[in-house]
Amino acid sequence: MKSFKLVAKLDGFTVAIKEVVVDFSMQSMKMGFNAFHLTRNKGLRVVEDWQTSILLPICVSKQTDWLMNLSIRTEDKEYKAVIPLTIK
């Protein structure tokens, strides 16, 4: 088990982003509660960087097809995306 850094570069939002959260699941397996709140990387850039450190459990069946569920909340909307990924 080794943690990894997740950085989300968010661009194109016309209103302030209030919260960025990711959680991970597998298509055919319940992996427990694992929500991670990203924090804003303060800076003067136009594109906002949000980041966190993540530690996921190892699947004993050696399944590696994770789904990252991304949620971005602004002042007036919530945006959601499901991103498939493989962790090796």
Fold category of 4-86 in CATH:
Immunoglobulin-like (2.60.40)
Instruction: Answer whether 0.85 is exceeded by the pTM.
Output: no
Query: Using CA atoms, how far apart are residues 80 and 82, in angstroms rounded to an integer?
Result: 7
Strands annotated E in 1-88: 4-10, 17-26, 36-41, 48-54, 65-74, 78-86
Alpha-carbon dihedral sign for residues 6, 7, 13, 15: positive
Domain boundaries, the chain: 4-86
> Under a CB-based contact definition with an 8 Å cutoff, are residues 77 and 16 in contact?
no
How do residues 49-59 score in pLDDT, each as one tens digit? 899 999 877 66
How do residues 10-25 score in pLDDT, each as one tens digit? 888 888 899 999 998 8
